[in-house]
């Protein structure tokens, strides 16, 4: 068994998990609840084992690095972070419908990592600039933040769906979604959590850049886009706690913010160029 196989299984397990949660929502199949949670927890553990095994394999290959150093590995970690964040959310709010709007992100991330021919999955040696503990801290903090933002956008979508037909009859599909007030609260808490981690991510990135090149900030496109994302979320949070925004507007901003995250993460690597272009497929 090698890490690619384990991570392949992870992809299937997240797919199963996402489908179960969607089934719980769409068919109101409450009985599937426990199974969905168990499958998700197992998928998460297999994901963890896959990362750990890849780590070990890199040592066996005589390279030895934390598997957080290229696009493939970061997508795998992204899925991992979404899964654990979601499990925490489910545990806290005791609501499995949230899974229908969260786990698809983990599934998509893994599927994209596994299936896209764009990035190599082989363990490649690290160029000197990437050999830094700050890089590890940077990737972890950023992706924990991104995971929260992914879930927040899922909750935003859920809010917008529910709100559009708020006055539907009780017992209908949308009535099974949490109350708008609750979704709004989850969005806010998730954004706040993500914002703290994104801030830490930008800071650790700056410290890394400073130790490698002597400049903590050079306005390269990746840095700039992470700052743009940070501005978007800062504005969102201020709109909420100082101007009392909530509901639809914040839900939309949660979605917009996540689009900015995707662009920072994906768009910059493939559409723009800069220091971080090592993250690309080549």
Partner 1 sequence: MKKTENMVWRFFASVRLALFSLLILATTSIIGTLIPQKNPPEFYVEAFGQRTAQLFQMLDVPNMYNSWWFISLLLLFSVNLIVCTIDRLPNVWKMVVMNNLDTDPERLEKMPHRQEFYARGDAAALAEIATGLLAKNGWKAEGETKPTGSLLFSQKLAWSRLGVYAVHLSILIIFAGAIIGSLLGFKAGVMIPEGSATDTVYETGTEKPIPLGFTVQCNDFKVSFYADGTTPKEFRSNLSVLENGKTIIDKRSIIVNDPLDYKGITFYQSSYEPMQGFNVVITNKATKVSQSFQIPFGQKISWPEGGIDFGVINQEVRSRMGDVNRLKVWFSDGQGDPSIFWMANNATQTISSPAATYEFEASQVYATGLQVAKDPGVWTVYAGCALMLIGLYVAFFLSHRRVWVYIVREEAADRCRILVCGASSKNKIAFEKEFAALVECFTHDSTLQNA
The reply to whether 244 sits near ligand HEM by the rule CB under 6 A is no
The verdict on 241 binding ligand HEM (CB under 6 A) reads yes
Instruction: Give the range of 83-91, 129-137, 144-152, 157-165 binding partner 1 by CB under 8 A.
Output: 129-137
Min separation Cβ 265 and partner 1, Å: 14
Binding window for ligand HEM (CB under 6 A); candidates: 38-46, 76-84, 114-122, 235-243 = 235-243
For ligand HEM, which is the closer residue by CB, 115 or 234? 234
Residue 44 or residue 225: which is nearer to partner 1 going by CB? 225
State the number of binding residues for partner 1 (CB under 8 A).
46
Q: Does 196 bind partner 1 (CB under 8 A)?
A: yes
Three-state DSSP at 117 gives coil
| Cβ nearer to ligand HEM, comparing 217 with 241 | 241
CA–CA separation, 25 and 101 (whole Å): 10
Binding partner 1 (rule: CB under 8 A), the pick from 26, 34, 38, 231 is 231
Query: Is residue 227 a contact residue for partner 1 (CB under 8 A)?
Result: yes
Enumerate binding residues for partner 1 (CB under 8 A): 62-63, 124-125, 127-129, 131-132, 134, 185, 192-193, 195-196, 199-200, 203, 206-207, 210-217, 219, 221, 224-225, 227-228, 231-232, 234-235, 238-239, 242-243, 268, 272-274
Enumerate binding residues for ligand HEM (CB under 6 A): 234, 238, 241-242
């Amino acid at each position: 068994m090698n890490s690619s196989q384990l991570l392949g299984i992870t992809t299937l397990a997240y797919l199963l998990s996402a489908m179960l949660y969607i089934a719980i929502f769409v068919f109101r199949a409450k009985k599937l609840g426990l199974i969905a949670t168990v499958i998700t927890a197992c998928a998460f553990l297999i994901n963890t084992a896959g990362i750990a095994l890849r780590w070990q394999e890199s040592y066996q290959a005589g390279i030895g690095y934390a598997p957080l150093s290229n696009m493939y590995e970061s997508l795998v970690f992204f899925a991992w972070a979404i899964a654990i964040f979601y499990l925490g959310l489910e545990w806290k709010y005791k609501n499995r419908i949230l899974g229908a709007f969260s786990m698809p992100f983990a599934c998509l991330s893994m599927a994209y990592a596994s299936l896209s021919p764009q990035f190599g999955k082989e363990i490649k040696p690290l160029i000197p600039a990437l050999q830094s503990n700050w890089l590890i801290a940077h990737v972890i903090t950023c992706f924990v933040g991104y995971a929260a933002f992914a879930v927040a956008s899922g909750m935003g979508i859920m809010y917008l769906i529910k709100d559009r037909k708020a006055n539907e009859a009780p017992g209908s599909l949308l009535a099974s979604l949490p109350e708008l007030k609750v979704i709004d609260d989850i969005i806010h808490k998730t954004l706040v959590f993500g914002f703290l981690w994104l801030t830490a991510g930008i800071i650790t990135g700056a410290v890394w850049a400073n130790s490698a090149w002597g400049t903590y900030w050079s306005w390269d496109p990746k840095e700039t886009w992470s700052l743009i994302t940070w501005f978007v979320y800062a504005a969102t949070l201020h709109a909420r706690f100082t101007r009392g925004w909530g509901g639809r507007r914040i839900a939309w901003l949660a979605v917009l913010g996540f689009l900015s995250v995707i662009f920072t993460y994906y768009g910059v690597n493939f559409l723009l160029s800069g220091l971080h272009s090592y993250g690309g497929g080549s």
